[in-house]
Each structure stands twice: as structure tokens, then as C-alpha cells.
Structure 1
Amino acid sequence: MCRTQAGVDMTGGGASGSSQGRELLPANVVPRHYHVTLEPDFEKLTFEGTVVIDVDVAEDSSSMAVNTLELDIRSAKVSSGGQTISSAPRVSRDESTQVSKFDFDGSLAKGSQAQLEISFTGHLNDKMVGFYRSTYKRPDGSDGILATTQMEPTDARRAFPCFDEPALKAKFTITLVADKKLTCLSNMDVASETEVQSKISGTTKKAVHFNTSPLMSTYLVAFIVGELNYVESLDFRVPVRVYAPPGQDIEHGRFSLDLAVKTLKFYEKVFGIDFPLPKMDQVAIPDFAQGAMENWGLITYRVVDLLLDEKASGAATKERVAEVVQHELAHQWFGNLVTMDWWEGLWLNEGFATWASWYSCNVFYPEWHVWQTYVTDNLQSALSLDSLRSSHPIEVPVKRADEINQIFDAISYSKGSCVLRMISTYLGEDIFLEGVRQYLKKHAYGNTQTGDLWASLSAASGKPLQEIMSAWTKKVGYPVLTVTENEEEGSVHVKQNRFLRTGDTKPEEDEVLYPVFLSMRTKDGVDKSLALNERERVLELPSGDFFKLNANHTGIYRTSYTPSRLEKLGKAAKEGLLTVEDRAGMIADAGALATSGYQKTSGVLSLLKGFDSETEFVVWNEIIGRLAGIQSAWMFEDKAVRDGLEAFLRDLVSPKAHKMGWQFSDNDGHVEQQFKAMMFEVAGLSGDETIIAAARDMFAKFMSGDRAALHPNIRKSVFTIALKFGGEQEYNKILEHYRSATNSDERNSCLRCLGRAKDPILVERTLALLFGGEVKDQDVYLPVSGLRSHPAGIEAMFAWMTTNWDEIYRRLPPGLSILGNMVMIMTSGFTTQDQLSNVEKFFVSKNNNGYDQSLEQSKDSIRSKVSWLARDGEDVAAWLKANGYSA
């Protein structure tokens, strides 16, 4: 699954008994095959279904238990060896564990086979889980409904009764009954079509029978019924298609279609195993909670993450679509073919898919320099979340269904992929990939734990990976390395301690010693042999005095240098001795260390001031990101200080923005396009009058019908600047454009900007949009993201949340990760102790299940800002005054 971009910081045995406190089904029977038949009713928004589950009987049994949720069981039957054992077993249901138990007279003997047949009715819900409905506008303006699925992690039980645990793999034969004009899709290809009498309407319909799948987990089962158009490629061994409902231009699926063909061929070669299914479909779904879902052979996506109008979308959107498509296709091997045995091994799916998408993107698009971006994207995302006390280990124990959704976060995805990148660098890419191939071949169609990966990598490399890597996946957090120098002795002293953003690490939180790959860069190259396995170590100071740890930032740690060494590194950067990754990573470390009190914020501001001649996009991205972090922490401070920070940012960015310009041509490279767009936006938002005037001019022409007046790369930037320095007129025009635009990327740009308007009336209008009927539930986080940019917006969001909490909780149930995202967006902008107390007071009486982790992480984030301001508030004010940015 690919996460949405919400814009916030954000082992054990198989499936028997209640292992380690997990809520598991009884292990008396084991599923082998499901035959599922479903017929959706688009009038009543329900569906009729039957499932016949073939099971092996592992213990003498007089009952069977399966997972169900929001299903009405109409009848059930248990049979074995062609004989009916029970035509009406007694059904009891445990709502809290989502289990239905079928008790019957008589007994099934251990070693026998049996069938459990269940007829049921379900609801085509609007919560984007299970078997649900998605709505869209047809070209003629009428409303259409699509029935689709989202099963991960524990929602297959909403679609049909099943053994809904990843280790209980079985084969699936799906039949869908629908009107003849509708398209029916599932994981496999169509075996046959027959005419049948509808159970719902009594009319003649078609029954589409799909071929039986390989062994797979329930969370990967998928089926779709509705009006769909498609584009197809036959350039791969099996057909590859991209589908979309009417109202979407299906030709915008060409980029993802061609990329999928290319990626499947590449992954087959790299992973050493052929894609095992007879077709690959990718479908754009108008209502979708995540970014995409890797259902085997039938990947589902948000429209904006699959369809790409290259004429109307910027370079950043193209990169996002490529990354999502390659992520989901990597899952066809990592997750689908080889699956974690329980959800605490989620990183084996998500960390691998994340790493593989960047790896393949780098091969296909070397001019994108994605490994440079990786340092400011994935690595910083992981380090940011993992610096909170409320973070969790990569292998985090989860017991209940409502806990699982919360670990689809930057730890499982970003930190997981960073661990793989670190191992790949340590072992060398060829050896790493050989270990990966062994892992996939050994465990194909099975389930694994993290130890199985270490075993394969150890076998390929001859190195004891289990010992080296265990701390990185089983323990929370990461270290900061404090580097001090003894010039007389010519030595460097390195010491590791647990890093917490709040700067208050307790002795009991600092007991883990992480194996750290030091990767020391000197004028002679990079020494990859150096490691820190103990608390502290003395290294020889290299000749020539130039050194930097964590070359290219492939290690998961922060490095704290002395002010004099940091100054020398700043000079080394100007002399070309540091790579782009080194420069960006060094800035990121300095910013994070100021947050936690290892360094003074004034030192970071001075460091950034010295980077004014920097030439690379990724480094500027990190400079701007770190200054934005300071601005958000100082959000509620004295206006003179806030204005001073904005003036400093403007002074830093504007010369570069003017030099690069904001005209785009076909000669601009992919990275250059993003670079120009970023500098234009940041300079404009920080008050550059020339750029504000240019943005207003482009905005007026664009809104008057001259679509060529505004390049897609800066569409969002122009809208944002127009709103920040405009008012109701600009707001109305952007809202009008949102309503009339058909391109999902354009519509999202409009929503993301609206919160920038500061007028209290416009703030209220933005908040009213959330549940006003015209913004889909999947997109509710978009309008509020802009509100986090100014104090009034942050306060208004929280007030709205507290007033509308019951409706928020009803519409975004705790089983959906969107609820946790919204809680974080609407609370984490605060910076004072009083504001933190208000958040704590509000939630103390609420049921926090399903979003408790997000809430704790948000409160931790506020605490870190409170302590940062207490430490460095005067320091920053003094620096701004001394440097002429405030009076």
C-alpha cells in the first residue's frame, strides 16, 4: 500500500492460538480454498454473497470460527466428504474481536477435509473499506457508482466471511454477478461468463467466473464492478491494462501503463522470478483512502496517483506517479508472493516496496537523481518520526485490528527502506540483490519473519546479518553521534546516545547500542570499514584535517560536530569536497540537533546563511525545510521575530529565484523544473514583491481563461501566493476553478491552497468545506493543510475539531488511517504549554483507539517545540537583530 501525502511529520509464530496476546482465530481448522460469489445492488447499496471455504481439520472439532464485520449471515452449512454435517449450525458473534463462531452437533475428525458454506448480505459502505462504493460524475453530468474493494489490513472480513490473517493463505475462485453492461474485474483473468437469474432483481444478469488464484492472503483479494474504460499494452508476457471510470480521460493512463510494462520486465530480471499471474490491471478509483493498494494482479489507485496529464501536471506530480506505480508493482513480489506472517513484519512489505521503487526509478530516470532526494525525503521522514518518544520499533507488536492501521507510517515505510539501503551499501548492491533473490525463491507463496530475510542475506554475504541488524528493527529510535576532536593527539572521539527531539533522553531510554556504519569521508575517499558497535570509540584523525561521517547519509543516525568542525564542513562544501547528499544531510542534522538542544539555533541560521551560493535543488530543499521548521516552532511568538525569520528566508531565496526565473521550456531538466518552482514559491510567500506581482498577473490571466498563462509547475505556487496576499475575490476564483476542473491534480492544488487565506470568514468557509458534500472524504486533509501555515488557521482548526468531533469520528472511523492524520494535522501546529494542555484536556475523555499513536506523536511534537522555544527563543531573536533582520 502506498500512503497518502498528508503533509504531516508523519516475530512470532504463525496463526495458531493467541500468540503473544494477538487476537487470532482458533487453529482447529486451516483454510485451503474459497469460492466467493458476490452480487452488488447499486439501488439499495448492498450486496448478496455466498462463500464456500474448504478447510483442513487440524484438531477434532465441533465448531469453526471466521472473521466477519458488518455482514448479516443468512444461512450456513457444514459438510465433509460429500455429507452434510450440519445444515444449520448455531452462530454466535463477538463484536469486539470481529469473529463469528459456528457450533454444530457431531464432530469433524482431525486430518479430514470439510466445507463451511455461508450465505450473507453486506453493505456497500462509503468508508473506503471492504467491499465499498465509489462515486463519480459521468461526462453527461449524471452520477455513477463503482463497487470496489480495499481489504488491507483487516477488511476482507467486511466483504465475505474469511480467515482474515496474513499467514492463512489459500486459493481463491471469485464469481461476480452484475448487469451485462458493467465491467467485472478480480485478481485473476476471466475463465468464463454465463447467464444467471439475479437473486436481487430476478432479471437475467451475467456471472463472470474468474480463474483460481495462487495461494494468497485475504488482504490481497480484490474485485471491482462498474463502468470502466481501459488502455492496454501487449508488450509484456501478459496483458497489462489501466482502467478508469467514465469522466476520466483514459489516455491519461498511458504513462502508468508504459511504466508498468517496463517495471514488470525489470523486476522479473532483478528479482529472478517471473510475475506469476496471467494479467496485470491498474485501476483509478475516485474514492480511495490511501495512495494505492497492491492487490495481486489488480492494483487500485487514487486517480491522481495513476492518471497523468503530462500537459497539465508538473514534474513533481510525474515523479509521484512513477514512484507509486513502481512501489505497488514491487509489492507483487514483496508482500504478495512472499508475505509477512503477521503485521509486525509489515516492513518486509512496505520497506522493500519503498526501497525497490527508488531503486528502479533511479535506473529508469537517472536524470531525476532520486537517491539525492532520498536523503531529504525518506531518510528525514524516518528520522523525524523516530525522534519522538512515541515512535515504535520497525517490528512493532500489534494485537488488535484497530492497532494495525497505525503502523502504516514513516517507520514501516521510510525507516524500513532506509535499513535496506544501509544494508545494500554495507554488503554491496550485487550481494544484497543475490540475498534478496534467495529470500524470494525460498519463501515463494509462503510467509516470513524478519529473521528469514537476515538468513538469506547472511547466506549470500557470509556476514552475520542477524547480529548486526537486530537492534535496527527490534528497538525503537536511533543514535546521535557526538564527535569531539583532540588535535594534539590527532584523534576523533565518537560517542553514541539515543536521540530524542525533546532533548530529554532518560538513562533507561539510552541502553540500546546500535551498530553504526561510520562511513568516514576524507580527501582519500570513503572508509566503509569503520563501525561503532560500542558506546564510544576513538578514531585516528585523518591527515589533511578534512573528514565527515555518514558519507552520503546512508546510515540512520544524526552527527553532532563541534561549532568549529561545522564551520570547516561549511567551507568544505563550498570547495566541492562534499556530495549533494552530504550537504543536504549535514543541514538536516544541524537543524534537528538545534531542535533538541545539541546545538544553538543561531548556529544553524549562520550555517544556512553561508549556503547562499549553493547550486543544488536537493540542498536548497533541505535549507528551506529546516527554516520552515523553525518558523513553525516560532508560529505563536512575537511578530517582529516571525517577520525577521521571513525576511531572512526572503534574503536567502530571492536572488536565486530571480536568477533562475519562472519561465519553463522543454529544455529544462526534470530537477530544474522543480527547483525553479520551489524557489519561486518560497520567495513569493516570504514577501518578494516582484514575484508576488508576477503571480498576481499570471493568476488574473489564468482565471480569465488564458490557461497558457500559468505553467503546471507553478500552478499551486501561484494559487498559494494569490491567496496569502489576496482575499475573497481570489478565494472565490480558486473555489470556482476547483468545481469546474476535471483534472485531479488541478483540483487537489486548489484544495491545498484554500487554507492560506487568513480572513476569519474565509477560514470558516474552508473548514465548512470538509463535510459540506463537495470534498470527498478521502481528500478532507487537503483544505486544512494550508491552515497550518498561520496562527489563526491553527487555532480555528482545533476549535472546529472540538466542535465537530462526533461527526469527524463517525465519518472517518478509527479503522481508517485518515482519522489519525486529521488529529495530527489539527493539533500538531501548536507550540505552547497552554495549547498542549488544551489538547490533552479534550482527548482525555475520548476513546483514543485507532488514533492513539498519532495523538501521542502530535503531543510529543508540541512538547519538543515548547522546550526548543524555552531554550532558544532569545537566541534566535538576538541573531535576527544582530544580522539586521529585526529591529
Structure 2
Amino acid sequence: MCRHSIAASSSNPDREVLPTNVKPLHYDLTLEPLFDTFRFDGTVEITLQVNENTDEIVLNSTEIDIHSAHILDVEADKITFDEDAQTATFKFKDTLVAGSQTTLKIVFTGELNNMAGFYRSSYQEDGKTKYLATTQMEPTDCRRAFPSFDEPALKATFSITLIADKDLVCLSNMDEKETTILESGKKQVLFNKTPLMSTYLVAFIVGDLKYVENNDFRVPIKVYATPGSEHLGEYSADIAAKTLAFFEKKFDIEYPLPKCDMVAIHDFSAGAMENFGLITYRTVDLLLDTKTSNINTKQRVTEVVMHELAHQWFGNLVTMDFWDGLWLNEGFATWMSWYACDSLYPDWKVWESYVSDSLQHALTLDALRASHPIEVPVKRADEINQIFDAISYSKGSSLLKMISRWLGEDVFIKGVSNYLKKHMWGNTQTSDLWEALSDVSGKDVVKVMDIWTKNIGYPIVSVKESEGKLIVSQNRFLATGDATAEEDKILYPVFLGLKTSKGLDESLVLDTRTKEFETSTTDDFFKINGDQAGIFRTAYEPARWAKLGQAGVDGKLSVEDRVGLVADAGALASSGYISTTDFLNLVKSWSNESNYVVWDEILSRIGNVKAALIFESDDIRVALNRFIVDLLGDKLKSVGWTFSDSDSFAEQQLKSSLFAFAVAAGHEEAGAFAEKSYADYIGGNKDAIHPNLRTTIFNHAAKTGDEKTFDQLFKIYQNPSSVDEKITALRSLGRFTQPEILDKVTGLLLNSDVVKQQDIYIPMQGLRATRVGIETLWSWVQTNWDTLFEVLPPGLSMLSTVVSLSTSGFTKKEQRAQVEEFFKSKNTKGYDQGLAQSLDVIKAKGNWAERDATKISEWLASNGYSK
């Protein structure tokens, strides 16, 4: 007899996994997509190892019509389905004998639908809608493409055959073995057998595709796109060649497949997917026109390509045992993409921007009660999508950055290489990596990291000064500033990183509630968390904040230190640990700052103040804008907003950032330039808007525009000069302020002929910028909820994104109550965590506004920024 389909696991007894009576060894899979009916026909023959005597086989299958199932020409006696568990059970008259091998053959039909499993993607060519068929299996959607043992630990080999029209391109994980023309006139393409791999990494594509090829690496690299766009893949192909060579050297392991294909897909729920040897991307994250794309798009494409290529080793070659180890996959690929980017493009100085990017994403989400541990117990398939978030990616990578600094980067990479070599083609748990790092470093990595990975949240380190001593203590940090004793029991091993004029002392560890340290600094300068490598916030006494502000002016703080100081002050102000006026005083003294990352952090944190006060008096918003214009005015004047070919990466970023914040805050000269550039551009001068300023100028045009402006931007969206311009125009549509135009914008969101489902969130981001936009979006979501739930099913993480975007802009208790009331009667499966996080955000902003609105208003008045 076989065990029940909910089997126990030693690490998580409640985990729903398949029974272990049989194990897949190899899949022979044949699929034929049918574009006239948007269905596909398939046959799969699964070679099984029988582990115990049994008369039934259970595997994963959902939204698939199974026509027949046989073992050695003997048809299944009975086939039953469990829709909730997403399984199919095949009962046979004869018993399968333990120790033997057998083959289960299944004939089936599926639907090419909804960005999951084997699905269709549409695009326009010569005024016609065309389609290609592609896949997205991660985390648990291989079962929508073919009946399978859809768990990461159940690795097998795959021989894949695709049947398609002769003029279409067929791709899969491996290179092509042979092509046969069938009697029907179609072709049958058989691919070489894959190495051992998990089902979530299986991929196949059928469509009209063209490619560019790069042969700078040991194996061919091809970037595919629909006809007419393939030349835009040259940049990514070049990045891939450099990155694969870099990773081969660093890991001391060859890239294990005979080719590397990367494909731009028009409909894609994620940003990219690391399928072994056949990596898929949103078009905007792979295709790039270096002449018309802005510097941020170039950096994002670079990092996304590097992220997916890191997975070819970390995730694909060695794979987590189950989804509670997702963070190890994603955290590592995130860290590795920054590491590779820093090595290959040192002038970008990406570790400086890491502090304001990944680290702050992690700290912001993990400050919510509704966060989750890095290593989160996952029970069911529908829970997995919700952990593809800033904890798994950004906190995971920040933890690895912290440990690489503790051990030393070379030691860390050596430990990773040893780990990959030891577990090649296998599955691992987090502890396997820690043990490899302990072996190579001689340090107890397991003990330290277990505390960080298995618990939610992180500490605030409070610093008190007393006669040559520092008294430091740690407590749980929450955005709402109200951690209970029950929530504050975990004591983290905190690497304090004490920076003084003598240098950085990384030997100090706070692993108790409170500790005292001697300070031998003679010039009264010190900073905790030097270079901002630790995952914690630091709270100083008021006098020390002022001294650190001066230290920033005097050049004693690194870029990472300055960014971290601003970020900590902003977060502590928003949560009530310090007054917002302390934060404002700190940044007011930094008007001569020259680094764009620091400016971004300063102005983003002031933006957070504005967001918390968005439903307060308009006077306070106007005064905050005056403060911004005054703060950045001199620096903006000195750097300007015209670009030359000789501008460095950092100079381009600084000009772009200052111009963007200046225009948004009402800087007259910058605003006038934006208006003239937009008018010239609409008038036919396509050189009037530099790509680095396009987002700012389109947003300003919308914010100050009318119906005519809407029509202009909508026309650009429909007929763009580049993918970059298309997305920029779409996002700007949410920036209009007239209710009748915003109704037009929301009216587009569910029109998939105009806005693709994958892009529904893009105009929503713009809508969150204004009070009327926030209210319009929430009203629209309530009205259209049933349709939204249908077109964005809980299995796609996009529903959680829509819920978050449409609710977290609120700040008032009564608004929060409205959100709670609306969802009280709804099925929150697949987005319950996102909703809980959004409610936390509303509460934190509401507390902040109640606590500090008057003080902020008084500070603005006393500094001359009020009317």
C-alpha cells in the first residue's frame, strides 16, 4: 500500500509532499502546442524506481485533462484527482514490486493560459496579434504543463520533444539532437537528454524567434526575441559571456551545459527565470538599446542577467531540498549579481548603492510584524509564491554580505565552491552551506547563522556614552515602535563594526542584551556599523546625531556610512525612536553632498515623510517641497542636467537624481526645462529628451497635464521608440491628477489588449503619488475585485502586489479599517501575507503622522519654509 498523499517530513511534519513509494528517474516528454485552440497535446513516459510494494502512484497535476495512463500497456484501473492538493492518483490492479523499475505513460491535454506552466504570450507584428508558447514552472507550475513529481528534491533527467510548424523555432534546456518532418508537414524536434534537474527548471518554447549570438565564451550564447527586436539582445549576450567566464573562475566549476539561451518574453509574471540553459526574461529586463535607454535600465538589465546566470550553479547545479530554502537560492543569486557587477564594472561602485537598495528593502519589510523568517516553513504549494519577496532576496543577500565580510570574501567564495563541488547535481539544506563555510573558515558559522535565518526581524542597537565607554544594547525593531516583551526575546549575534579615526574594528560582537566597550578615540568620532555591513538599525543620543552629521560634512564617513546614517535616522524617525526633526536637522546640513546614492537616500526619506503626511494639510506638503528645493538647489545648479559622453556613471546618476527630485518638488527652472523638453519632443524633436531624464519629464507632463497630454502619452505608449520608453509612458499615466483622466487610466488596467496583465502594476505605481490617485485606485480595486481575483489567480504573486499597491498608500485609522472590512469576507489565499504587511504599513504611517505632524510643521516654519 502507498502512504497518504500528505507525507511527513523530518524538518516540517506538516509539509504536504508526495508519497515516497516511487521515485522518478527519467521523463520522455512530447508536447505539441495548438495555437488555433490555445491548447496543447502531450505524452509523458516517466521511468520510475519502485521503493516499496504498491498498487498506486500519486503525482502532481492541475488544470490538465488526462486521457489515459498505462504501465506496460496495462491501463490504470482508476484515476482520481485532488484539486486542493493538485495531485492525480493512478490505481492499478497489479502490485508494483519494491526494487524494480517501471514506466508510467500518460496521454493528456492542457491549456496554454495565464503565465503559468506551458502558456501563450502574445505580441503585435504588422498590426496583427501573434503568439508564442513558453513556460514558467517555478515554484509549482510544472504540474500545469505535464503530470510530474513537482518537488525540487525529486530530480530526474528529461528527454523533451516538441512538435510545431516547420517555420517556428523550438527551444528547450538542452541543444537539439535531431529534427524530423512528420507526415502532417509539421516538424518534430528532439533535444538531447538533460542532466539531473528539478521540475521547476524545465523549459521549452515554440515561436517565431530570431537571435543574436555571442561566441566570446566557451559555449555559444544566444539571445532570442520576436522578429525585429533581436538586435537589442547584443548587450545582454555580451554581459552573459563575461559573467559566465567570471563565475566559472570563481566557483572553479565549468558551466555544465552545452549552450546558454536567453529569451525575451512579452508576457511574464516574474522579471526573469533561471531555467537550466534556457533563461527567460521580460523583454524590458533583457533587451536594451544602449543609445536610448537610461543608465538605471542598463544597470538593472546587467544585474538581472548576472542574477539568473549565478543560479546556473547555485540553484540549478545544487538545489534546495524544499521551498523553505528558497532564500538560499535567491539571496545567493542576488549577492552574487552585485559581486559580479562590482568586479566587472568597478566604476559603478555598486556596493555603495547596495546599502540604499537591497539592504533597505530588507530592513523595511522585516520591520513589519507580518514579515517572516529568512528560512520560512512552507507547508503548501499556494504558500510558496508569497515568500518570493525582499526577505528571501534582499535580507538573504544582506546576510550573505555580512557573513562574507566576517569571513573575508575569498574565504567565503572558497567555501561556496567547496559546497557546490560536494553537492553537485544534488539537493541541500541551508545547514550544508554553513558547514562548508565553517570548514573553510574555522569559525562557527552554523551557530551564528541559525539565529539570523530562523527568526523574524532584526535589532535596533541603542548606543549610550559614558566617560570613555560605549554602552550598547539590542532590542527588536518594529516600524510601529511597539515591540512587546514576548516579541523581544531573540538576542542576535550583532557584528558592531566600530569605526573611529583609527579605522574599523570588526571584532566587537554584541550577543547579549547589553555590553560595555571602551572607546579610545581622541577626537570624539565614532560610528557603529561601519560601512553599513550589519543588519540592524543604530540609535544614538541626540548630541551624537549632530556630531555624526558634522562628520559627514568633514569627510570622515564613507558613502556607505552616510547612506546608512540617513536611512537609520529616517527609519527611527518614522517609528518614533527619535523625533523627525532630528532627521531633518541631519540632512539639512548635507546640502553639499556630492554622491548620488546619498542624495537618493536623503530625498527618498524626505519622500517618506511626505507619504506619511499625504492626507494631512496641503500646507505641510508645500513646505516640505520648499525644503527639498532649498536643500538640493546649490548642488543642482553646480552639476546641471545636461549630459555629455564624457560623464561618468556616477555623474549621470547624480544629474538624473537631483533633476528628478527637483522637478517633483516644484523647482521652477528645472520644471520649465521639463515642460519645454516635453513640448519639443511632442513637436517632433526626438533628441529633446535625454533618456536619463525621460521618466521625470513624462511624469511632470502628466502631473501638470490635461486630456490632450493623456492622449499624447498614451500614443507614445502604444507606438514607442523603445521598450524603455513604453514602460516609462505607461507608468506616467498614473501621475495625472484630474479624476476624469484617472478614471480613464484605471479603465485600461483590465483591458489586456492595451495593458498586459504582467504590467498592470506599472500605472498603479504612478497612482500612489497623489491623494486622489490613492483613493481612485482603491475605489477601482473594490469595484473590480472579482475580476481581478479571476485574472490574477492566487498562484501568481501579482495579486499580492496589486493588493499592496492599492492599500498601503493610506495613512488613517479609518482607512485601515475600511481595508480590513473589505477583505474580511474575501478569500485571502495567496495574498494574506501581503495584505497583513500593507495593514502594518498603514498603521506605522498613521502613528508617525499623529506623533510628529505638528513638530514637522513647526520645524518647517522655524526654518522659513512655510508660507
TM-score norm. by structure 1 comes to 0.96
Distance 1:142 1:600 in 2: 59
Deviation at 1:693, TM superposition (A): 1.0
Give 1:644-723 correspondences, 5 Å limit.
644-723=623-702
2:319 to 319, 333, 339: 339
Deviation at 1:469, TM superposition (A): 1.1
SS in structure 1 of the partner of residue 162 of structure 2? strand
* Aligned counterpart, 2:18: 25
Amino acid at match of 1:566: W
Deviation at 1:542, TM superposition (A): 2.5
* Aligned counterpart, 1:73: 66
Deviation at 1:45, TM superposition (A): 0.5
Distance 1:658 1:793 in 2: 32
Contact conserved, 2:76 with 2:90, CA < 8 A, in 1? no
Amino acid at match of 1:242: V
Distance 1:866 1:554 in 2: 30
* Aligned counterpart, 2:528: 549
Give 1:623-634 correspondences, 5 Å limit.
623-634=602-613
Alignment pair present for 1:804 and 2:791: no
Q: CA offsets, 1:101-159, max 9 Å, x none?
A: 0001110111111111000000011x111000001112x22221000000000000000
Contact conserved, 2:595 with 2:650, CA < 8 A, in 1? no
Give 1:820-839 correspondences, 5 Å limit.
820-839=800-819
Contact conserved, 1:798 with 1:827, CA < 8 A, in 2? yes
Distance 2:624 2:255 in 1: 53
SS in structure 2 of the partner of residue 708 of structure 1? coil
* Aligned counterpart, 2:498: 520
Contact conserved, 2:76 with 2:91, CA < 8 A, in 1? no
* Aligned counterpart, 2:448: 468
SS in structure 2 of the partner of residue 146 of structure 1? strand
Give 1:340-379 correspondences, 5 Å limit.
340-379=320-359
Give 1:866-877 correspondences, 5 Å limit.
866-877=846-857
Distance 1:614 1:666 in 2: 24
Distance verdict in 2 for CA 1:102–1:454, change over 3 Å = same
* Aligned counterpart, 1:323: 303
SS in structure 2 of the partner of residue 468 of structure 1? helix
Contact conserved, 1:435 with 1:460, CA < 8 A, in 2? yes
Deviation at 1:15, TM superposition (A): 11
2:589 to 592, 610, 616: 610
Q: CA offsets, 1:349-380, max 9 Å, x none?
A: 10010000000000111111100000000000
Deviation at 1:867, TM superposition (A): 1.2
1:97 to 85, 106, 109: 85
Amino acid at match of 2:255: F
Distance 2:740 2:633 in 1: 32
Contact conserved, 1:292 with 1:300, CA < 8 A, in 2? yes
Distance 1:662 1:614 in 2: 17
Contact conserved, 2:7 with 2:16, CA < 8 A, in 1? no
Give 1:31-430 correspondences, 5 Å limit.
31-79=24-72, 84=73, 86-125=74-113, 127-138=114-125, 140-197=126-183, 203-246=184-227, 248-430=228-410
SS in structure 1 of the partner of residue 186 of structure 2? strand
Amino acid at match of 1:73: I
Contact conserved, 2:623 with 2:860, CA < 8 A, in 1? yes
Deviation at 1:648, TM superposition (A): 0.9
Amino acid at match of 2:95: S
Distance 2:661 2:850 in 1: 28
* Aligned counterpart, 2:772: 792
Runs of 4+ in 1 over 3 A off after TM superposition: 14-19
Contact conserved, 1:758 with 1:792, CA < 8 A, in 2? yes
* Aligned counterpart, 1:538: 516
Deviation at 1:70, TM superposition (A): 0.4
Instruction: Name the % identity.
Output: 54
Distance 2:609 2:214 in 1: 49
Q: CA offsets, 1:38-71, max 9 Å, x none?
A: 0010101000000000111111010001100100
Q: CA offsets, 1:294-348, max 9 Å, x none?
A: 0000000000100000111011110000000000000000110010000010011
Give 1:2-13 correspondences, 5 Å limit.
none
Deviation at 1:742, TM superposition (A): 4.7
Deviation at 1:16, TM superposition (A): 5.8
Contact conserved, 1:324 with 1:357, CA < 8 A, in 2? yes
Deviation at 1:725, TM superposition (A): 2.0
Deviation at 1:721, TM superposition (A): 1.2
Contact conserved, 1:480 with 1:499, CA < 8 A, in 2? yes
Contact conserved, 1:685 with 1:724, CA < 8 A, in 2? no
Distance 1:58 1:335 in 2: 27
Amino acid at match of 2:60: N
1:862 to 833, 842, 845: 842
Distance 2:8 2:556 in 1: 58
Distance 2:831 2:27 in 1: 33
Amino acid at match of 1:781: Y
SS in structure 2 of the partner of residue 789 of structure 1? coil
Amino acid at match of 1:30: K
Distance 1:238 1:589 in 2: 46
Alignment pair present for 1:501 and 2:489: no
Amino acid at match of 1:571: Q
Distance 2:169 2:562 in 1: 52
Q: CA offsets, 1:556-597, max 9 Å, x none?
A: 000000110111111111111100000010000000001111
SS in structure 1 of the partner of residue 705 of structure 2? coil
Give 1:445-484 correspondences, 5 Å limit.
445-484=425-464
Q: CA offsets, 1:433-463, max 9 Å, x none?
A: 1100110001110111110000000000011
Deviation at 1:400, TM superposition (A): 1.0
* Aligned counterpart, 1:8: none
SS in structure 1 of the partner of residue 456 of structure 2? coil
Distance 1:15 1:29 in 2: 15
The number of residues matched between the two structures is 859
* Aligned counterpart, 2:710: 731
1:768 to 747, 761, 777: 747
Distance 2:710 2:673 in 1: 18
SS in structure 1 of the partner of residue 357 of structure 2? helix
Amino acid at match of 2:744: R
Distance 1:484 1:158 in 2: 58
Contact conserved, 1:77 with 1:89, CA < 8 A, in 2? no
Distance 2:76 2:593 in 1: 75
SS in structure 2 of the partner of residue 507 of structure 1? coil
Answer with 227-236 or 854-863: which moved more.
227-236
